[in-house]
Amino acid sequence: QVQLVESGGGLVQAGGSLRLSCAASGGTFSSSIMGWFRQAPGQEREFVASISGSGGRIRYADSVKGRFTISRDNAKNTVYLQMNSLKSEDTAVYSCASRGLWSSEWHYWGQGTQVSVSS
């Protein structure tokens, strides 16, 4: 069973930056599509970004495009989310997830890390 553990969350002022990390174990990380999602209080979980196994295909939600950067280091079994120009509306619990190339669903999830942006 795949285990995903996020870290790097915290409190930051609007306009600041944070880098989230997601460490994976128990699976074939390099062949997995990895994604970041977030959920604010009282809201549904939403897609933030995803990256293919080799890093060649990347997608972002429109709300974060140009501000966030997803990357991965397969040697470290880790995916990152660099968040710049943070806004108060970015405040949420951020979770990483993984799925296989041919799966349409994200089957493995981390516990989440809190990101709070103060205005």
- Residue 103 has a pLDDT of 87
Amino acid at 18: L
> Which of the four pLDDT bands, split at 50, 70 and 90, describes residue 28?
confident
Identity of residue 59:
R
Query: What does the pLDDT average to over 47-72?
Result: 97
Average pLDDT taken over every residue of the chain: 96
**C-alpha to C-alpha distance for 21 and 6, rounded to whole angstroms:** 5
Alpha-carbon gap, residue 24 to 76, rounded angstroms? 9
> With pLDDT > 90 as the criterion, what percentage of the chain qualifies?
89
> Where does the chain have alpha helices with state H?
none
- Taking residues 36-48, report their average pLDDT: 97
- Whether the CA torsion 26, 29, 32, 34 is positive or negative: it is positive
- Alpha-carbon distance of 40 to 31, in angstroms, equals 30
Q: Report the alpha-carbon angle 46-29-18, nearest 5.
A: 50
d(CA 5, CA 97): 10
